[in-house]
Structure 1
Amino acid sequence: MKPASHARVLRERLERRDIIVVPGGGSPLEVKLIAREGFEAAYLSGYATAASRYAVPDIGLVAYGEIENAVLATTRVADVPLIVDCDTGYGDVTNMARTVQGMERLGVAAIQIEDQAWPKRCGHMDAKIVEPREVALRKLRAALDARLDPDTVIIARTDARGPHGLDEALERCLMFRQAGADVVFVDGPQSLEELQIIGRELAGGPLVANMSESGLTPLLSAAELQELGFAIALFPSSTVRLCVRVIEGFLTDLKTTGDSRAWVDRMASLAQTNSALGIDSMRAFEAGILADVQRRLGQ
């Protein structure tokens, strides 16, 4: 019997009441580690991809081709339902269709799109501009109608909270849900009260909460978010920001001392690193092939 697709697995998981904790990353290594730890889904973040794969800020410098490349590299090494941040869809209706179908062909489980104008910005930056409702709605309809697999989850995010206030963001999410979005997402709420309002006013379907540490939204635990009515607790860029802090600290110290010994206890060993990269299964495969060849030659 053919196993269920990642899209089907995620869709069925969203039907349960308990919240899903979804860490994010921007590189195949980060997502591979997320899968290795047994998380139910992983998030390929636009912010983290721009940072860890291309070393640029999330201000519209990375578009479809770069994201496609990152997804391809990631799905080759990480077997986990993958939610991909596809920003604005990288254009209008036909661009959105290409984006959705391209992601589906790479095996992603869910595609997140947003209503910002291009070039977009990280959801927790200022000076964001959102498209008119008409444009946002037609692009969402394009995403929904372009799906090759009805199980593919479409997440519709609004960034209207910043430039237009919470009421506009709520109205857009209601519009998105009525149009057929599987999950809706208000990015950038600025208080616990706003999170409570979102959970109450948008009850009736899965909601995303973005726990971007040091961003605009207060940090809550997954359990607390579940109490407020959220279905996905998203930690989109924690891993890449840990990398920046730890690597900068190490390099600063190394430049001063010329000695790495003080950091050894904070590093994975070579064996641990190789294991995380999958060397054990590769060696087992190689050993099996060599043993089979020796057996055949000895017949």
Structure 2
Amino acid sequence: MAGATPLRALLQRDGCLTLPGVFDGISARMAASTGFDALYMTGYGVVASALGVADAGTATFSEMLDRVRCIAGATNLPFLADGDTGYGGLLNVDRTVRGYAAAGASGIQLEDQEFPKKCGHTEFRRVIPADDAVAKIRVAVEARPAKDFLIVARTDARYAEGLDAALRRAERFLEAGADVLFVESPESLEELRRVAETFKGAWLLANMVEGGRTPYLSTAELGAMGFKIALYPGSGFLTAAGALQLVYRHLKSDGIGTGSKAPMLPFSEMNELMGFPAVHAFEKRHGLSGSQHEK
């Protein structure tokens, strides 16, 4: 993380911070190269890309931790990482927070769903008792190694129990020490405004999912309401999946990879993005370039 502005310091600036969803080394490097100040490791994207299955509680702590390490190694930008439900009880939450911090994340998002959890914009989500959810946030705050490691407390109670219940839970999360409040999937502009008005002065996160349950707004619109973080977790993997569909269909029908409607990064630019110039410089410095390398 050397040279990166801590995420807490970024949130102390004026305005609303845009966090793009990243899910592997390529997406992390690409997002960093386009000038974002911070990133978000999306659970949906990680589960889809690493396991090829639905984000429905199937990923384990160790599998998610591998992606935290991957993203931390691919860029020095600070990033929030999806920690799902903490992968078990209170001891598991303690281990998860410590593990994510040691692996290079700048903060963790923890939610109050029952296990197995599901993507926050899908059906059939249930939440654990409020007291149990608050206990998880208290443990997370206690387990973090430093105050700069942020605890994002998410509630899915809007879907399961209604907005009033979600707001009550968020209030208790704030009292338990959460740094950022995340009321998942408000279903109207009025509900978004009510969240913002209820927690004026608190750091609030809004989750913008293309085709999801919440009205889809820009960072500027969310900032004007009072939100501090505008999360766009699916923009990257939805676009990547659409491009793959186009190029693979073209390859199947025409027998060649070029010429589809999908944008294709030039091979030279991909090499640059992934760090080949540094590899070549290393090899040259250590006498491994050219014919010597092949001996």
Q: What TM-score, normalized by structure 1, do the two folds share?
A: 0.92
- Per the TM alignment, residue 265 of structure 1 is displaced from its structure 2 partner at its CA by 7.5
In the alignment, structure 1 residue 29 sits paired with structure 2 residue 26: yes
Q: Which residue of 2 aligns with 1:74?
A: 71
Equivalent-residue separation in structure 1 for 2:183 and 2:250 (angstroms):
41
- Counterpart selection for 1:91 from 88, 93, 98: 88
- Counterpart selection for 1:224 from 221, 226, 232: 221
- Report the 3-state secondary structure (helix = DSSP H, G, I; strand = E; otherwise coil) of the residue aligned with 1:262: coil
Q: Which residue of 1 aligns with 2:291?
A: none
- Report the 3-state secondary structure (helix = DSSP H, G, I; strand = E; otherwise coil) of the residue aligned with 2:182: strand
**Could you tell which deviates more after superposition, 118-127 or 282-291?**
282-291
Runs of at least 5 residues in structure 1 that lack an aligned partner in the other structure: 292-299
Q: Which residue of 2 aligns with 1:297?
A: none
- Per the TM alignment, residue 261 of structure 1 is displaced from its structure 2 partner at its CA by 3.2
Q: Which residue of 2 aligns with 1:295?
A: none
Contact 1:162–1:188 under 8 Å retained in 2: yes
Q: Which amino acid aligns with 1:192?
A: L
Q: What TM-score, normalized by structure 2, do the two folds share?
A: 0.93
- Counterpart selection for 1:130 from 123, 127, 131: 127
Equivalent-residue separation in structure 1 for 2:248 and 2:265 (angstroms):
16
Question: Per-residue displacement from partner, 1:133-178 (whole Å, max 9, x unpaired)?
Answer: 0110111111011112222110000000101111111111111011
In the alignment, structure 1 residue 177 sits paired with structure 2 residue 174: yes
Contact 1:81–1:109 under 8 Å retained in 2: yes
In the alignment, structure 1 residue 159 sits paired with structure 2 residue 153: no
Equivalent-residue separation in structure 1 for 2:263 and 2:74 (angstroms):
25
Equivalent-residue separation in structure 2 for 1:53 and 1:249 (angstroms):
21
Q: Which amino acid aligns with 2:155?
A: T
1:43-122 pair list within 5 angstroms:
43-122=40-119
- Counterpart selection for 2:197 from 192, 200, 204: 200
In the alignment, structure 1 residue 245 sits paired with structure 2 residue 235: no
Q: Which residue of 1 aligns with 2:258?
A: 261
Equivalent-residue separation in structure 1 for 2:259 and 2:148 (angstroms):
50
Equivalent-residue separation in structure 2 for 1:24 and 1:117 (angstroms):
24
Question: Per-residue displacement from partner, 1:239-286 (whole Å, max 9, x unpaired)?
Answer: 111111111122122212223331388211110111111112222333
Q: Which residue of 1 aligns with 2:136?
A: 139
- Per the TM alignment, residue 197 of structure 1 is displaced from its structure 2 partner at its CA by 0.9
**Could you tell which deviates more after superposition, 121-130 or 246-255?**
246-255
- Report the 3-state secondary structure (helix = DSSP H, G, I; strand = E; otherwise coil) of the residue aligned with 1:261: coil
Q: Which residue of 1 aligns with 2:272?
A: 275
Equivalent-residue separation in structure 1 for 2:46 and 2:61 (angstroms):
12
- Counterpart selection for 1:15 from 9, 12, 31: 12
Equivalent-residue separation in structure 2 for 1:212 and 1:152 (angstroms):
25
Contact 1:113–1:157 under 8 Å retained in 2: yes
Q: Which amino acid aligns with 2:13?
A: R
- Per the TM alignment, residue 290 of structure 1 is displaced from its structure 2 partner at its CA by 3.8
Q: Which amino acid aligns with 1:11?
A: R
- Report the 3-state secondary structure (helix = DSSP H, G, I; strand = E; otherwise coil) of the residue aligned with 1:177: helix
Question: Per-residue displacement from partner, 1:1-57 (whole Å, max 9, x unpaired)?
Answer: x957x6x71111111221111001211211111112121111111101001121111
- Report the 3-state secondary structure (helix = DSSP H, G, I; strand = E; otherwise coil) of the residue aligned with 1:271: helix
Contact 1:158–1:172 under 8 Å retained in 2: yes
Q: Which amino acid aligns with 2:123?
A: D
Contact 1:25–1:238 under 8 Å retained in 2: no
Runs of at least 5 residues in structure 2 that lack an aligned partner in the other structure: 289-295
Identity, in percent, stands at 38
Contact 1:96–1:143 under 8 Å retained in 2: yes
Q: Which residue of 1 aligns with 2:212?
A: 215
Question: Per-residue displacement from partner, 1:65-120 (whole Å, max 9, x unpaired)?
Answer: 10011111221221110110000000111000000000111121111100001100
